[in-house]
Structure 1
Amino acid sequence: MTKHGSSGPLSGVRVLELGSFIAGPFAGQLLADYGAEVIKIEPPGEGDPMRRWGVVQDGQSLWWPAIARNKKSVALNLRHGDGQAVARTLASRCDVVLENFRPGTLDAWGLGYQALAAINPGIIVVHVSGLGQTGPRSREAGFGSIGEAMGGIRFTTGDAGSRPARTGISIGDSLAALFAVVGTSTALVERAKSGRGQEVDVAIYEAVAALMESTMVDYERAGVLRTRTGSVLPGVAPSNVYRSADGADIAIAGNADAVYRRLCGAMGRPELADDPRFDNHEARGRNSVVLDEEIERWTASLTAEDLLGILADHGVPAGKIYTAPDMLADVQYAARQMVLRPETDDGVEGPMAGIVPKFSRTPGAVSTVGPRLGQHTRAVLGELAGVDDEGWADLVTRGIVAG
């Protein structure tokens, strides 16, 4: 059986992916991007609900080809004892089990860390859940939105005076997936020294909280409660979004003293650099509203293309607020292969985000897009679980597998 993505830095690592939706499967996508062989277990019949999430065409999610790329699909009923037994056998041949069920589910199925470590001492079990595997609330259901709320990012997202807002993407799930990949990679490094596996416990709310900068200490030590401020960061200026003559929104970050002076030069207003209202970081923060008005009077006189050209020439960080069409057309995206167009089973080339980060010697790759449900069940069970033709027929008849 051909291994997928074998050129990447995780080539030779085999991952058994259990779970559904975003947090676990996105971690699986990244591991597969980096060359791991990812075997995705899905319930027979329906499969992962992500197959039908988001924008759907011809009965399939347009997201599915990306979040399941490079993976092998095994349709296996984990709610049946015989399906659990097959999964244990597969886990005995894997380096990593990645799961995002509610805590306690795997233990109830005989697939918890202790059970798996007894047959595979080097196994690394990576848990992704809303509230973690321990603590008084660990058994509660916890989706990404709840993790974003508890982690603090919802409170700080949106305009002042508005209700807490969503960022526009499933940021809590994605952050948890990133920490799951960090934890997996770190545990693999440690196992190379000790020979032993371990559990990696990622809680969505903790993944969000870990990125909340100094919000807790700001409150406890200084009584400052960081909240929603829209497109600005209080006390830091100029760093905002400004409108161009042709209606584009341009982000400009000129808050460092040297950069601010270059911005004044770009504007043809060198006197603003020495204006006592703006001549140091603290003064600009106090007078940010007035300064932003000065800047937008200038940006509103130029097209986005001309504006960005001038700012680039003067070494001022700036960028257009991109939409999907901008990403698809951008030369930097194209040059760094951040828009991939692999062909799906129906012959359609659908764009998807490229691989991050870039590896100079062992680059990752997208060799296949999201598979058909159960596309690899027979091959995987034959190779890794020793299921012969008779055993396969029996599993199919009893609804344990579908292929």
Structure 2
Amino acid sequence: MTVRPLDGVRVVDLSSFVAGPTAGRMLAELGADVVRVDPVGGAVDGGRWPLTENGASLYWTGLNQAKRSVAVDLRSDEDRARVVELIADAGIVLENAAHAPWLAHDVLLAHRPDLIHVHIAGNADGTPAVDYTVNAAAGLPLMTGPAGLGTPVNHVLPAWDLLTGVHAALGIVTALRRREQTGAGAYLELALDDVAHAAVASMGWLAEAQARGSGRELQGNALYGSYGSEFATADGRYIMIVGLTRGQWRALVEVTGTEAVFDALGAQRGLDFDREGDRYAAREAITAILAPWFSERTLARIEADLAGTRVLWAPYRTMDEVAADLAARSDSVVQYIDQPDIGPVLTARSPLRWNGRYTDARPAPRHGQHTAEVLGAGQLPGAR
């Protein structure tokens, strides 16, 4: 039986970009009726890459799976009023509309006193920002890259958007529980830069920087404070090896036959390699000692040699390799769905497994597909 714990809950989603749609998708995957409202011409990010050969946005369909779609003229007072009615009926709204007056909380509250309203912003002060500007301002690109590079390195994953989406979904579920207990609604504001700053602070990075009086030095793919490094294989591949715990480190030493070498190195430098900090201090020497073992073996041989050991490792793979691997497995978090106007698409299910089972993914709607169904046929002059 499919688990849909949010059956009966309706959420009006007026968000664009990644964070808000991610929250809406998560809620829809849990059974909520998430109604996405967009302008008749399409969302501002409705054509964002990656695209199919015929120009359909895989980005948009991926982030809006399992929702319903309403398209109206958001510049029309009449259509705005109907959207407000929809919000009041649903009792939950998610938006990142930069404090549009008609979506102001006090305006909406007049129509639904127990409204749950989540507003997502770029910066906490209300100024605009996106994940990539937030990431730059949070200090991470100047911690990323090979030693001595001297220029920032951005990562490609919009991590703060995705985390903000998770926080927004959690906020809605929590506020819903509170409303069930007390009858009170909630106005929740969530900013990408707050999510980023909270994340780096929670890992101790801000306190560390204050104590040091400077930023952390660049160190390539080394694992800070412990041991981890990339290694080249005999067939031109790369793997990542991590010796985070004492057991993982000892397994790595044993399988590579380097016990005596590291015993001598530790004695020479006064280091105990069972300690994470000592492994980190000697990381360059450790990598130099281990590198020949990996460079003399193919990836297949390394996989065979490490099988059944406690060594923590993974190959570096291209995205097409990842897609092929996941698509070939019947037990993975991805599956094919029939996406309207696109056809079969490999996409994600919810990563939550209920009693050991994933729930099936559902396709994204066509733009405006449910306008008449949700708002009533013939009532919206701006609708398509």
Q: TM-score, normalised by structure 2?
A: 0.90
Q: 1:96 to 1:230 in 2, by over 3 A?
A: farther
Q: Of the candidates 77, 80, 95, which is equivalent to residue 76 of structure 2?
A: 80
2:204 to 206, 209, 214: 214
Q: Provide the residue aligned with 2:338 in structure 1.
A: 343
Could you say what secondary structure the match of 1:253 adopts?
strand
Cα deviation for residue 73 of structure 1 reads 0.8
Partner amino acid, structure 1, of 2:60: W
In the aligned structure 2, how far is the partner of 1:173 from the partner of 1:331? 24
Match of 1:374 among 368, 373, 382: 368
Task: Give the drift of 1:284.
Answer: 2.0
Is structure 2 residue 267 aligned with structure 1 residue 279? no
Q: Distance in 2 between matches of 1:270 and 1:380?
A: 68
Alpha carbons 2:69, 2:370 under 8 Å: kept: yes
Which residue identity does 1:242 align to in structure 2? F
Partner AA of 1:153 in structure 2: L
Per the TM alignment, residue 71 of structure 1 is displaced from its structure 2 partner at its CA by: 1.0
Distance between the aligned counterparts of 1:347 and 1:255, measured in 2?
44
Structure 2 counterpart SS, 1:39: strand
Which amino acid in structure 1 is aligned with residue 242 of structure 2?
A
Equivalent residue number for residue 318 of structure 1: 313
List aligned pairs for 1:238-253, cutoff 5 A: 239-253=228-242
Aligned-partner Cα distance in 2 for 1:331–1:143: 30
For the 8 Å contact 1:250–1:319, the answer to whether it is kept is yes
Query: How far off is 1:215 after superposition?
Result: 1.6
Partners of 1:7 and 1:363 within 8 A in 2 = no
1:38 and 1:72 in contact (8 A); partners too: yes
**Structure 1 residues 234, 63: CA separation in 2 closer, same or farther (over 3 Å shift)?**
closer
**Compared with structure 1, are the counterparts of its residues 153 and 310 closer, same or farther at alpha carbon in structure 2 (3 Å cutoff)?**
same
Distance 1:77 1:361 in 2: 44
Q: Secondary structure at the match of 2:4?
A: coil
1:204 aligns with 2:192: yes
Retained in 1: the 8 A contact 2:3–2:354?
no
1:274-300 per-residue CA deviation (whole Å, 9 max, x = no partner) reads 331563223322211011111221111
Say whether the 8 Å CA contact 1:19–1:100 is kept in structure 2.
yes
CA contact (8 A) 1:126 1:180 kept: yes
Q: Distance in 2 between the 1:271 and 1:299 partners?
A: 18
Compute the displacement of 1:322 (Å): 2.5
Q: Which residue of the partner structure matches residue 59 of structure 2?
A: 63
Paired residues in the alignment total 374
1:301 counterpart (276, 287, 296): 296
Work out the CA distance in 2 between the residues paired with 1:336 and 1:274: 43
Query: 1:343 deviation in Å?
Result: 0.8
Return structure 1 stretches of 4+ with deviation > 6 angstroms.
none
1:196 and 1:333 map into 2 onto residues whose CA distance is 48
Structure 2: how far apart are the matches of 1:154 and 1:26? 24
Q: CA deviation at 1:361?
A: 8.2
Q: Which residue number corresponds to residue 36 of structure 1? A: 32
Match of residue 159, structure 1, among 126, 132, 146 = 146
Q: How does 1:9-20 map to 2 (within 5 A)?
A: 9-20=5-16
Secondary structure of 2:110 counterpart: helix
Determine whether 1:260 maps to 2:254: no
How many Å separate the matches in 2 of 1:185 and 1:158? 38
Q: TM-score, normalised by structure 1?
A: 0.86
Q: CA RMSD in A?
A: 2.3
| Residue 329 of structure 1, CA deviation | 3.1
Aligned partners of 2:46 and 2:121: how far apart in 1?
21
Distance 1:170 1:196, change over 3 A: same
Q: Which residue of 2 aligns with 1:99?
A: 95
| Unaligned runs of at least 5 residues, structure 1 | 383-387
Alpha-carbon offset, residue 118 of structure 1: 2.7
Q: Structure 1: how far apart are the matches of 2:341 and 2:280?
A: 55
The 1:31–1:311 alpha-carbon spacing in structure 2 relative to 1, beyond 3 Å, is same
Indicate the percent of aligned positions where both proteins have the same amino acid: 28
Q: What is the alpha-carbon distance in structure 1 between the residues aligned to residue 350 and residue 321 of structure 2? A: 19
Q: Secondary structure at the match of 1:30?
A: helix
What amino acid is aligned across from residue 16 of structure 1 in structure 2?
V
In the TM superposition, 1:151-190 aligns within 5 A as 151-160=138-147, 161-190=149-178
